Amino acid sequence: MQELFPYLLNGISVGGQYALIAIGYTMVYGILRLINFAHGDVFMVAGLVMVYTTTALPLYISIPLVLAATVVLGFTIERVAYKPLRTAPRMSVMISAIGVSYLIQNLAFYITGGVPQPVTKPIPFISNTVSIMGASTKMVTLVTPVLTIALVIVLVYLINHTKTGMAMRAVSKDFETAQLMGIKINSVISVTFIIGSFLAAVGAMLYFTNYPSVAITSGGMPGLKAFVAAVFGGIGSIPGAVVGAFIIGLCEEVIKGLGYTTFSDAFTFALLIVVLCVKPTGLFGEKVTDKV
């Protein structure tokens, strides 16, 4: 137990970071029924922007800049790549998402020259080292779960108690009827992408504090795992995504702690396949019946 303790700590922290990404997936899926394959890459871009801005600018400018840049990116992706395909079959939209992911990675490769960008000046305070019960870790490990839960509470409040939130719930229930009721679908979808990207940016700043560098492929794995978390928790459900992400983060780190690092990724996907086969609606998902 004493040996596993640092891994458990890490697991909670990684889980929180996955949760922030997973919310973006689950919200977009809830509304558009689309796996936003580009979301992991948006997360990676946020990391890159963080590396570039924190080295050049003071913190009170760079952090808002990271958030703003990521939000603009998410918004643009939706407008350019998904909106024209609103009436197209779902497969086309998914292909478009894969295309966007490919595009972002290649553009990032061009800009960075393919070299992983070192995190030279991580955000102070959260990158300080602390020691808890004999385990030495970075402050970010403690900050992440708290910040994640705080953000989720705010988000759930927004969704349950504001007009936009109500519109979102309506759109995710029934796209066409919501439109007939006078809800501006496009702005609701944009807001969804903005929230998702914002949370991904926060997640990226926390996540990359723990890593020495940001590579163009850094977003792929966390992105896929966050998606698995969203499925595990029941896609479309925000609390589900958060719980799923924490469980996956913990399991992964414990597996690493037991010495099976090679299989920590494989475990996540094995879990996905098992969940999909046994309980496709996930932990908190709603059951949907298919009509002919």
Largest CA distance in the chain: 60
Exposed/middle/buried for residue 157 (C-beta within 10 Å: 0-12, 13-18, 19+): exposed
Which span sits near other proteins by CB under 8 A: 168-176, 191-199, 224-232, 238-246? 224-232
Q: Would you count residue 42 as binding other proteins (CB under 8 A)? A: no
In three-state secondary structure terms, 42 is helix
Q: Which lies closer to other proteins via its Cβ, residue 111 or residue 130?
A: 111
| Complex with other proteins: residue 146 or 221, whichever CB lies closer | 221
Does position 175 interact with other proteins (CB under 8 A)? The reply is no
Binding piece for other proteins, criterion CB under 8 A, among 1-9, 171-179, 196-204, 273-281: 273-281
51 belongs to the binding site for other proteins (CB under 8 A): no
Residues 45/108, Cβ–Cβ less than 8 Å:
yes
DSSP 210: G
Distance CA 129, CA 140 (A): 9
Nearer to other proteins, 65 or 276 (CB): 276
Least separation in angstroms between CB 84 and other proteins: 6
d(CA 171, CA 204): 28
Residue 86 interacts with other proteins (CB under 8 A)? no
Please tell me whether residue 199 binds other proteins under the rule CB under 8 A.
no
Q: How far apart are CA 62 and CA 68, in angstroms?
A: 10
Can you say whether residue 235 is alpha, beta or left, with left for phi > 0 and alpha for psi between -120 and 50 degrees?
beta
Applying CB under 8 A, does 270 fall inside the site for other proteins?
yes
Q: Is position 107 an interface residue for other proteins (rule: CB under 8 A)?
A: yes
Those residues whose C-beta lies under 8 Å from the C-beta of residue 23, and which sit 6 or more positions away, are 152, 155, 195, 196, 199, 230, 238, 241, 242
Q: Residue 283 interacts with other proteins (CB under 8 A)?
A: no
Task: Confirm if 200 and 74 have CB atoms less than 8 A apart.
Answer: yes
Which window, 50-58, 117-125, 207-215, 216-224, contacts other proteins (CB under 8 A)? 216-224
Strand partners, 213: 118
Q: Which one, 110 or 125, has the nearer CB to other proteins?
A: 110
List the one residue from 4, 8, 65, 85 that touches other proteins (CB under 8 A): 85
Applying CB under 8 A, which residues contact other proteins? 33-35, 80-81, 84-85, 88, 90-92, 94-96, 98-103, 105-107, 109-111, 113-114, 217, 220, 224, 227-228, 231, 262-263, 265-266, 268-270, 272-273, 276-277, 280, 292
